[in-house]
Amino acid sequence: MGVNKARYLMALDFGTGAGRCVVISVDGKEHYSAYHEWAFDAPRNAQPGGFSFDPGKFWQVLGQVSREAMQKGGIRAEQVVAVSTTSLREGFVLLDAAGEEIWAVPNRDARAFMESIELHPKLGQQMNDVSGHWINPIMAPARLLWLKRHDPGVLERARTLLMINDWMLYRLCGEKACEPSNAAETCVYDICRNEWSAELIEACGMPREIFPAIVRGGEVLGRVTAEAAAVTGLAVGTPVVVGGADTQCGVLGSGVLEAGETAVIAGTSTPIQMALDKPIIDKQGRTWSGPHIPRRRWVLESNAGLSGSTQRWFRDSFFGADMANAKNAGRDAYELMAEEAERSPIGSAGVVCLLGGALFNASRPFERHLEGFVLTNYSATIAETDSRRHFARSILESHAFAVRANCEQLQAISGRAVDRVTVCGGWSGSDYWTQMLADCLGVPVERPAVAEATSAGAIVCAGVGAGEYGDMSEAVQALVVKRAPLEPDVTNGAAYDQAYKLWRSLYAS
């Protein structure tokens, strides 16, 4: 048996529920991955809503999955020609003058609820118009104001703020920088000028010097240090390439980079991004805007809410007895949920789900709508002894309806038609749900062949930085393979139109 001489690209992915490593050969033919679940801490002094993580422990997990992914493919360290990173958005790490981590929070950290309410009327509109993001509790200005009031010693010692993706790069090569798709999540980055906004930083009372230089995705930031090599198993000197925020990486890893193309990331939450060739900022602040990873590209973003979380809750609460059997049979419990839903008609026999799925309005993060299940055919529903199927379908339909509502919002704000979507994330693996989405939207739905689209986007960046491809478009063509599109069924579409109108009317009530 010959020695494996292939060249590989690696991505390290810091997710909400797990650390992941994906390795893909430069010709796109080989693919290996590993992941380990983790959980964030909930410190007592940061409640309600506070979360943090131990950078040292989480870095060790990322090193472990790196080694495991290479081991699965029988890959030697010198075969990895470049490594890049991606991470959840909004989280960040503070470093002191010695470069040591002194504070680290993930995206879920919402301790700064009161601070965000205070900043909302003062700076919300200005932040929206400059950064494309309206202030909320998980954004840096609110958290730093919380630190100033509750733990000022940490803020006094802070010398550098790194978004989590940038912190991973720092751990790999020792260089400090910030990448635009992550920088925009701070609310103090000017997305039109692609630079930090000194005016907003000053208005927030934050020190300008903690914000590092901006470096674009696909650029080499540094090389793997001996210390990082000892943890990750990579070779010392391996190029470390700037990646990007997880959502933009997922969009890129799905092959969406040209203006007007739209991607749905159907995971725990469901961001929906439209690629643009110029920034478009909604003055009403309903959507987010920010840089895409390729140069001269931006994104307009809406979000269909915590649909994935609702589906997980329903699975765990109502399919608990079936989950063990599914696992023993080598099946996913979500498959059982989809099969159950398939036994219910379009419209879920009058059961309407108003949980999880939402129409994004970033300027009103605390605005509530009707939540729960509405039984529009109550007598028929309770007369059944087998009504679980209707509730299962109503949850999946509400996910599709929320995607449609947010796509319509993107169309209205951008002036561009959503005539095709690409779906990635956990639910993209469900033929049943993605066909439902195609029927509901009335447009073809495409899916990337590699499920880990977020990691694939970071690998596109690694490939460009390593010089394996001339630009990101060439890298996408080489690395991103799409499955055959799902075409909408016109007859089903008419039925979904009626069900969607009912969902919208109840949602708005």
Task: Check whether residue 455 and residue 492 sit in a common domain.
Answer: no
For every residue of 151-209, DSSP letters joined together read -HHHHHH--EEEEHHHHHHHHHHS---B-HHHHGGGS-EETTTTEE-HHHHHHTT--GG
The CATH number of the domain holding residue 184 is 3.30.420.40
Alpha-carbon distance of 480 to 455, in angstroms, equals 11
**Helices within 270-387 (DSSP H only):** 307-318, 320-328, 333-342, 378-383
First-to-last CA distance in the chain?
Answer: 67
Question: Residue 346 falls within a domain, yes or no?
Answer: yes
Q: What is the pLDDT of residue 176?
A: 98
In a domain, 90, yes or no: yes
The reply to whether 71 and 150 lie within a common domain is yes
Identify each DSSP E strand in 220-335 by its residue range.
220-223, 239-245, 262-265, 271-276, 288-291, 298-303
Distance separating alpha carbons of residues 259 and 275, to the nearest angstrom: 5
Q: Is 322 among the domain residues?
A: yes
Clarify whether residues 321 and 240 are in a common domain.
no
> What pLDDT does 402 receive?
97
Measuring CA to CA, which residue among 69, 460, 448 is closest to residue 242?
460
> 320 falls in which pLDDT band (50, 70, 90)?
confident
Contacts of 148 by beta carbon, 8 Å cutoff, 6+ apart: 155, 205
166 domain residue, yes or no:
yes
What value does the mean pLDDT take over residues 466-494? Answer: 95
Lowest mean pLDDT, pick from 279-283, 378-382, 469-473, 483-487? 378-382
315 and 200 share a domain? no
Count how many domains the chain has.
2
pLDDT digits 0-9 by tens, 200-226: 999 999 889 999 999 999 999 999 999
Give me the pLDDT at residue 334, please.
81
Q: Same domain, yes or no, for 175 and 35? A: yes
Same domain, 148 and 13: yes
Start-end of H helices in 415-452: 431-441
Confidence grade of residue 308 (pLDDT, cut at 50, 70, 90): confident
354 pLDDT higher than 60: yes
- Give the whole-angstrom CA distance, residue 409 versus residue 304: 11
Name the residue range of residue 493's domain: 307-413+488-507
Specify the pLDDT at position 2.
54
301 found inside a domain: no
Q: Residue 18 pLDDT > 70, yes or no? A: yes
Judge whether 419 lies within some domain. no
Strand (E) positions, 367-446? 372-375, 421-424, 445-446
Residue 55 has pLDDT above 60, yes or no: yes
Instruction: For residue 136, give the amino acid letter.
Output: N
Higher-pLDDT residue of 24 and 382 is 24
64, 131: one domain: yes
Given pLDDT bands bounded at 50, 70 and 90, which one contains residue 1? Answer: very low
**One domain for residues 331 and 211:** no
Is residue 391 assigned to a domain?
yes
% pLDDT > 90, the chain: 84
Same domain, 152 and 100: yes
Query: Is there a single domain that holds both residue 148 and residue 187?
Result: yes
pLDDT band of residue 322 (cuts 50, 70, 90) is confident
CA distance linking residue 51 with residue 143, whole number of Å: 11
Residues 127 and 195 in one domain: yes
pLDDT digits (tens, 9 = 90+) for 95-110: 999 999 999 999 999 9
Say if residue 5 is exposed, middle or buried (CB neighbours under 10 Å; 0-12, 13-18, 19+). exposed
Mean pLDDT computed over 119-140: 95
At 452, the pLDDT band (50, 70, 90 cuts) reads: confident
267 in a structural domain: no
Taking alpha carbons only, the member of 255, 299, 302, 301 closest to residue 278 is 299
pLDDT digits (tens, 9 = 90+) for 363-414: 987 777 778 999 999 887 888 888 999 999 999 999 999 999 999 999 999 9
Residues 6+ positions from 159 with CB-CB distance below 8 Å: 95, 96, 97, 209, 210
Grouping H, G, I as helix, E, B as strand and the rest as coil, residue 307 is: helix
Mean pLDDT of 267-296: 95
**Do 28 and 154 lie in a common domain?**
yes
Write down the mean pLDDT value for the chain. 94
Cα–Cα dist 419/437, whole Å: 13
User: pLDDT digits over 171-192, tens only?
Assistant: 999 999 999 999 999 999 999 9
Report whether pLDDT(3) > 70: no
Give the span between the Cα atoms of 257 and 102, in whole angstroms.
37
**Is-contact 482 350, C-beta < 8 A?**
no
